[in-house]
Structure 1
């Protein structure tokens, strides 16, 4: 009986030592990770943002545009006697097409999502564009239900869904007319400096938030 009891105690001791050893290792790993996260958080926090750039008039920044980590409306304006509403959102092209640099996409190429809507209309015009420092190119023009959500998934699905005839296959007169249509509404390369600076600030905020959230999660993890 005593032999069995002592044997059982030996097994219990091994289990306790193993558990203690595992807990100690977990604590050490967590401490190392938290230290690294803190160092990078402080480093990122000290990064100097670009000079503040105001959007070209009469565009205004959508309230709360920098909040959260999703993609939403950035700029808006009214236009014309019909009280058209022009709403823009933006992403980096290499966020839409992973590995963009390797596929020939310039890091300065932005993906612009332009919605032109009218109060009395149930549908809106959607322009998917590529924006450069010195040019704007239209990828497609489509009709979409008004109020379609601005999100990264919506932008990607818009890029994949039917968007009408291929823009490059339209005759030159119609392509020029569409370019004139959005340029008349203030959508052109003059937006690039603001949108590039805005994306930098957005990315910086998201990076700082990421370090904080991951650090909080690791810190609150309890060893079992």
Structure 2
């Protein structure tokens, strides 16, 4: 009788272990299936993003084929600073070191349109804005004259000017009165001051053309970097 009871206990134990193993196997299969489906969805999602990125890159390259960036404009050497939102132009004029730090497009306003009666109205078209910071220095101890300008599609507009003791000093200096509050003759003289140094309407036209190309180039570069990151395993 005892032998029969031990045999039944052993059978029940083996049966329990078998059912437990079957249950664990079902759970493992279920988890594997969920993991597999999740991985497939992830790959499909990423594959769709990659396909869209490739299409966008191809479209941009077809509509605006890349050109070699301009390295010089008139007397200025141009540093396009790939991957950044700024470019730098440098030149010398007499004993002056002149540096221009120029943003990509950083604003837009409605374009003025002449009216038949000689007035001006704002049109539905927008004209893009570029900020230009002009730094002019004369030796190490002469301070730095900084002139902040707006470059519109066909003209340069002075916004303000001030002297820094050193270009690297971060403290904000007193920037003087509003430029438009200055005497008209003084305003004209300051525009002439920039003109003889090559900072003029011709430069504004060049900057807008350059930034249109840079904007396209940076968009493609950005998409290429995103694509490379998603492709990385």
TM tier relative to shorter chain: 0.7 to 0.9
Which of residues 27, 30, 34 in structure 2 aligns to 1:14?
Answer: 30
For normalisation by structure 1, the TM-score amounts to 0.76
Instruction: Report the equivalent of 1:135.
Output: 155
Alignment of structure 1 residues 1-224 onto 2, 5 Å: 1-2=16-17, 3-46=19-62, 47-48=64-65, 57-62=74-79, 65-73=80-88, 75-80=89-94, 83-93=95-105, 95=106, 97=107, 100-101=108-109, 106-121=126-141, 123-144=143-164, 146-148=166-168, 163-220=175-232, 222=233
Long gaps (5+) in structure 2 = 1-15, 111-121
Cα deviation, 1:77-98, whole Å, max 9, x if unaligned, reads: 2112xx10111122245x2x5x
| Matches of 1:114 and 1:176, distance apart in 2 | 17
TM-fit CA distance, 1:177: 2.6
Q: Per the alignment, in what secondary structure is the counterpart of residue 131 of structure 1?
A: strand
For normalisation by structure 2, the TM-score amounts to 0.73
Name the count of aligned residue pairs. 204
| Matches of 1:145 and 1:6, distance apart in 2 | 81
The structure whose residues are more often strand, as a share, is 2
Larger displacement relative to structure 2 (33-42 or 52-61): 52-61
TM-fit CA distance, 1:12: 2.0
Q: Per the alignment, in what secondary structure is the counterpart of residue 185 of structure 2?
A: helix
> Which has the larger Rg?
2
TM-fit CA distance, 1:8: 2.5
Long gaps (5+) in structure 1 = none
Cα deviation, 1:18-63, whole Å, max 9, x if unaligned, reads: 111000001111111111111111111221468998865322324x
RMSD of Structure 2 on Structure 1 (CA): 3.2
Q: Specify which structure has the bigger relative contact order, considering alpha-carbon pairs within 8 angstroms and separated by 6 or more residues.
A: 1
